[in-house]
Structures are given as structure tokens and as C-alpha cells.
Structure 1
């Protein structure tokens, strides 16, 4: 099932995120130390460089690590740290192959509760608790994946009507609101650290 996603702010990249559970997982994995749009454009760039319409966990997991790192490092690089991110993407895909037969959607399809979904996501390489919570919020708010207790499992990111994370981005306006929220949170943290 396809979903209308506007995280990359680029039609082809967003279309891939809307139809490919693996692309969504990889985009979320890449979402650190780069602008959100760049992170979520990453899966599309990787697919293009592999000469594919979509991503395949089996193919990526089996890819030669040096060649895959080179693929992500080619200009423009997929991420600020393409080598380490190439390794993480391959580790994620290997975990999906080992635990879910390469089917990214199986991570959430079989979760009976939000707590179980949080545990499943948190066990994936590159997914700490916060990233897992944000992804649960994204699944619930934009992909219609809502096991009982999903909002609670997502923590603050599950709140309705907030602009806290990628889960709340549906276009340029909400992207600007999320950016503004993140800037304010950063400034508040700096102020608190200075006072402490």
C-alpha cells in the first residue's frame, strides 16, 4: 500500500518512502547529523546508484562492504559520514534478513502492541530508544500502523498536533515548524547547561 509522504521534499524520493518500508527504515537510520530532507532522500539515492526502483535488504546485506561504502561516498555523498552510515545500513539490512526474511514491514506487521513494536525497533542496528520512538510516531501518524498503545510507546513524539519530529512533517510548512521546535529545544538545553 502506498502512502503520501513528504519527508524528503523531493517527489521521487518521497514516492519511494511511501511505497517501501525498507526505504522508510533506512531514511530514519540516516536521520542524524544531516538535514532531515537529506536523510530521507538517501534511500532514493542509494536505489538509483544500485540501478533499482526500490531497495532490497538481501541485496544490500550481501553487497561488498567497500563497494557499498564507495556507493554512498560518491559525490554528492548520501550522508555527512558515508562510510560509517554504509556500514550501519548494511547491518540494518542483515538484521532484517536474519530476523524478518528481509521484509522490513514484518518488523511492525507482527507487533501486537506499541511496547512490542518499540522492543522490535530498538533491537535493530542503529535504532536506539529515541529513534525507535520517533519511527513509531511516524508509522502511526503517516503510515496507519497503530497497534494498541502505539502513542504511549512513541512517548512525546506520539502526541497529536505537535511539531516535534519527522513524524509530524507533511509538507514545507510543518517542516519549518519542526525545525523551529528543534532550534528552541537546542537553545533551551544550552541555556540549562550554562546555568548548571
Structure 2
């Protein structure tokens, strides 16, 4: 895999995301309750703290859980909730080792359809339906690796020209559009809740 991504808005971190399916998958896992850039810079921080330029699912899965929590907790912390996220990352990597021989790209590489890929993504620890649909759109839009029917399976996140999620970010301008969309969605949700 080699893609030009600008999710972390840091050249080294984005380069890792563009060449490492596992880094991209972990970044997506971390993308909750923190700014997107912080989440997607996380895989690079983890790799650096592990003394590498790459991430390996088997190596992460085999880490002592307490030591891995410490690694994510070092200042600056990889996430707002480093303990919970360390556990989720290890669960994700263990799942990838058990089901895909540690090869994160295998999750989408041989999927026959968008529906099958969505099912595979939904099965990943830490991925719910929305996260799975966003990641499916990311695979289709940014990596050009979506199987037939990926747009339909990704729902609104698969729409062409939409600015709904990380799948639509190509740089600072599109990031601003995605943020504006999310702010408007929050405002509408508040208005709906107030009725």
C-alpha cells in the first residue's frame, strides 16, 4: 500500500499512515473523543516509542499489557484515555493475528464486495457500524482499494463530493469542510433534542 494521506497533518505520521495498513487501522480506532490529527498521529508515536519506523500486529499483540499502557501514557499521551486505547489496540492486533495472520491489508485486499468488507470491518475490535463505514469509505476514496459496491456499503460516507469524515480529507481545506459539517450536525442534533 502506498497512498498520500494528510490525516495527522504531520509529514512523518502521514507517511506512516500512507504505507502501513495497520497504522491506518489503529489511527481510525483512536479517532474518538480526541481531535482527528491527534488520533492519526498516534500510530507514528507508538512506532517511535517502540523503537521502529513501522508497526507490526504480532509485536503489538505480544506486548505486556501493562508495559503497552505505559508506552501510550508517556507524555504526551497517545490518547485522552491511554489505558483503554492500549487495550483496544492490543485486542485489534490480536484479532488481526488470529484472523489475517497479522496482515491488516488482508481485511480489504481480498474482500469480494463492499458488503463483505463492511462485515469484516464491523467484526474488528473497537469498530462499530459508523467507524466501519467511515473506514470503508477511506479505503475506497483515499486508497482506491474499495471492492465493488463499497460506496453503497459505506452509506453517506461513500458519497462523492461529501465532506463528512476522515475519508474526505485531502488537506487543510477539506479538513475545515469536514469540521464545519460535523459542527452543523451537532447543532442539528441539539436542536432536535430540544424539541
Q: TM-score range by the shorter chain?
A: over 0.9
**Structure 2 counterparts to residues 8-27 of structure 1, below 5 A:** 8-27=8-27
**Structure 2 counterparts to residues 26-175 of structure 1, below 5 A:** 26-175=26-175
Cα deviation for residue 34 of structure 1 reads: 0.2
Query: Which secondary structure state, in structure 1, belongs to the residue aligned with residue 146 of structure 2?
Result: coil
Q: CA RMSD in A?
A: 0.5
Query: Which secondary structure state, in structure 2, belongs to the residue aligned with residue 66 of structure 1?
Result: helix
Measure, in 2, the Cα distance between the counterparts of 1:135 and 1:145.
12
Cα deviation for residue 24 of structure 1 reads: 0.4
Cα deviation for residue 123 of structure 1 reads: 0.3
Measure, in 1, the Cα distance between the counterparts of 2:52 and 2:143.
23
Q: 4+ residue stretches of structure 1 with deviation over 6 A?
A: none
Measure, in 2, the Cα distance between the counterparts of 1:114 and 1:101.
22
Cα deviation for residue 2 of structure 1 reads: 1.2
Measure, in 1, the Cα distance between the counterparts of 2:107 and 2:4.
21
Please list every run of 5 or more consecutive structure 1 residues that lacks an aligned counterpart in the other structure.
none
Cα deviation for residue 160 of structure 1 reads: 0.3
The answer to whether the 8 A contact 2:22-2:105 is kept is yes
- Per-residue CA shift, 1:90-144, capped at 9, x if unaligned? 0000000000000000000120000000000000100001000000000000001
User: What is the TM-score with the length of structure 2 in the denominator?
Assistant: 0.99
Measure, in 2, the Cα distance between the counterparts of 1:155 and 1:61.
32
Measure, in 2, the Cα distance between the counterparts of 1:187 and 1:61.
40
Query: Which secondary structure state, in structure 2, belongs to the residue aligned with residue 34 of structure 1?
Result: coil
Measure, in 2, the Cα distance between the counterparts of 1:145 and 1:30.
22
- Per-residue CA shift, 1:37-60, capped at 9, x if unaligned? 000000000000000110000000
Measure, in 2, the Cα distance between the counterparts of 1:143 and 1:174.
17
Determine whether 1:183 maps to 2:171.
Answer: no
- Per-residue CA shift, 1:10-34, capped at 9, x if unaligned? 0000000000000000000000000
